[in-house]
Chain A
């Protein structure tokens, strides 16, 4: 994937880190995810992401659960890093 191209949070693999580029959705959604720390420029770490079902991301000292459709509203800069050993599982 090209650097700088857009990727959705639900596409981020477990253990992967990426910067948030943008949050899309209705005002209630935007204000909720932003207040939980999902603001543009923030680094997010994917903790749990199975093919289906909700996922768990970690940012600003907080574990946040997002439904899969909701996670699709959070866009990332596609700068995914290689998973490191400690983050497996």
Chain B
């Protein structure tokens, strides 16, 4: 590693456990000079940013927040590979001074690697309030790396951190090995392993690290060495390591011993605190089986309200885009060719409007969610709903993404990133299309009221019951056999509550919206455009359009569900986006004086919706749709054709066509099956 010259770019990696204020520090360092993407080939978020100070320019890479650096989870492997391959000049390990013993665990993991380390001792203000006095110099001396006390949320310690970074990066020469303290725990074992693998360890791994990881039964380390060692040495190694399944836990215990030793001289409690029960106050209620759920319910209701308020400003932009076509049409009709005006108004602007409204909603949701996470409450939500989610074969962490599904399934699918363990995450995101989004709920409640009047409540209840059944069945199928792999269940830190840091919350929401603008947004726009093409061409009449022709062609299948080509077309439009469904019905059934092919944006236009309420209802009831057909339509659309955006999100998160097309095929099948079953049932009920 070479020293850094002024003017050169310093590469800094941020490592640390979740809830240590790592994101806050990252935001302090980089301001809004951030870029959010994915780690190459992985669906784990990669945040990068830049800073410049005293002629030094720096690049900061925010590693995934992890509790350790084993090869057992994707996030940990990413962080570990990045550090081992020396992607950074200096590694900053962020630790929480108020939970020092545990958060130093990650620091110890990083110290075992041959990298330059600076420990950012964050939240010293919180620790002081708790009566903890920390001697950062003593800690630095016993860990043998610089320790910078700071309070990133208040900007305290930032300058010292930057100075230390520059100083440490300028140190020449190789990094000392620091693992000796740990090797003692396994006595001569590490030494014996080192003898076997001597000379065979590929760069950039070090012999001592590899030996330690082999002793600790690390699967990846074993794989690397199996490829490098001859048969005899490999067998000798296996004999040596056999029967040490306890080594992983023993290694962890040794790391904590090391930490205790380092802390014995550095940390003092000024006055004896009574431990956990000083923090327990609100949590006593918030984690209570009954009160906790009531609090959670209240929080969720307030969150929905807050979301609507927060998304208002950007929402006006989307609504503006949706009103534009009316203005344009008045101003430009006659001056532009009809098809061009229709394309701009109905094909492009409305799609942009709808997508912008969804983006606004996502901004609102993530502002609120970011707030709940930043103050520390979010983990409690997962805790209280764990028992409920277990009934679905999931655990508490799936609660939040699936709940977001009520707003938008695309969000639910991307929201599964909060779940650790690939298996659990995959099951949750494949279940997401079963949650009815708000676009779908509007359609369902409208159609059921039009056709079933006061009995609509019964229909909705039937839908809810069948949905519960389908959730259970689908989750069962996924768990039994379809989805392989490991997860560690619910093992979750309940972080201490903190005052909200609005910078962190803001940048979290901004990064989520940016991620949506990169993909989901354009999929909605493109789907809207092609839907318009389908209903406009070849001659501008929806009744004779390509989509209508397609609808007529598959009408024989539709008969199974008692659906004629018009209902089938509505069904197809719902596939492009649920929000467009009502608009499509309005156009297809010729309600009101709506533009013949402007189907996408209608649901956002409140005046028009009122119009549809009165007129579409009348049209639909006189359109010759039987109640059985209407019931079939409701069931078919509810169970649970995913929209294109959701499918695209599933593909983005799984990186697999197998799962994406599998989900499509499965849900298409259940849609048609449920529709047909509902039709037959309807024929019996509504004779």
Q: Which of B221-265 contact A (CB under 8 A)?
A: 246, 248-250, 252-253, 256
Please state if A31 and B72 are interface contacts (CB–CB under 8 Å): yes
Please state if A28 and B383 are interface contacts (CB–CB under 8 Å): no
Q: A61 CA to B279 CA in the complex, in Å?
A: 10
- Write out the residue numbers on chain A whose beta carbons fall within 8 Å of the beta carbon of B250: 40
- Write out the residue numbers on chain A whose beta carbons fall within 8 Å of the beta carbon of B421: 28
Please state if B102 and A53 are interface contacts (CB–CB under 8 Å): no
CB nearest to B421 among chain A residues: A28
- Write out the residue numbers on chain B whose beta carbons fall within 8 Å of the beta carbon of A26: 486, 488
A58 to chain B, nearest CB (A): 4
Please state if B248 and A31 are interface contacts (CB–CB under 8 Å): yes
Please state if B488 and A65 are interface contacts (CB–CB under 8 Å): no
Q: Which of B484-501 contact A (CB under 8 A)?
A: 486-494, 496
Question: Chain B interface: which size bin?
Answer: 35 or more
Encode contact with B along A3-23: 1 for CB under 8 Å, 0 otherwise.
000000000000000000011
A41 to chain B, nearest CB (A): 6
Task: Flag whether B511 is at the interface (Cβ < 8 A).
Answer: no
- Write out the residue numbers on chain B whose beta carbons fall within 8 Å of the beta carbon of A76: none
CB nearest to B274 among chain A residues: A86
Please state if B73 and A67 are interface contacts (CB–CB under 8 Å): no
Q: A37 CA to B256 CA in the complex, in Å?
A: 8
Task: Flag whether B339 is at the interface (Cβ < 8 A).
Answer: no
Q: Which of B401-440 contact A (CB under 8 A)?
A: 420-421
Known: A35-B68, A67-B491. A56 touches B287 (CB 8 A): yes
- Write out the residue numbers on chain B whose beta carbons fall within 8 Å of the beta carbon of A39: 249, 252-253, 256
Q: Which of A55-73 contact B (CB under 8 A)?
A: 56, 58, 60-67, 69-70
Task: Flag whether B42 is at the interface (Cβ < 8 A).
Answer: no
Task: Flag whether B125 is at the interface (Cβ < 8 A).
Answer: no
- Write out the residue numbers on chain B whose beta carbons fall within 8 Å of the beta carbon of A82: none
Question: Chain A interface: which size bin?
Answer: 35 or more
Task: Flag whether B284 is at the interface (Cβ < 8 A).
Answer: yes
Task: Flag whether B531 is at the interface (Cβ < 8 A).
Answer: no
Q: A45 CA to B274 CA in the complex, in Å?
A: 13
B491 to chain A, nearest CB (A): 5
Task: Flag whether B207 is at the interface (Cβ < 8 A).
Answer: no
- Write out the residue numbers on chain A whose beta carbons fall within 8 Å of the beta carbon of B496: 63
B69 to chain A, nearest CB (A): 9
Task: Flag whether B522 is at the interface (Cβ < 8 A).
Answer: no
Please state if A34 and B491 are interface contacts (CB–CB under 8 Å): no
- Write out the residue numbers on chain A whose beta carbons fall within 8 Å of the beta carbon of B249: 22-23, 30, 34, 39-40
Please state if A54 and B98 are interface contacts (CB–CB under 8 Å): no
Please state if A64 and B72 are interface contacts (CB–CB under 8 Å): no
Q: Which of A23-53 contact B (CB under 8 A)?
A: 23, 25-37, 39-42, 45, 47-48, 50, 52-53
CB-CB nearest 5 A-B residue pairs: A34-B252, A67-B490, A35-B67, A39-B253, A35-B68
7 contacts between A and B (CB under 8 A): A26-B488, A32-B67, A40-B246, A54-B490, A61-B101, A63-B279, A86-B277
Question: A: which residues have CB within 8 A of B?
Answer: 22-23, 25-37, 39-42, 45, 47-48, 50, 52-54, 56, 58, 60-67, 69-70, 86-87, 89
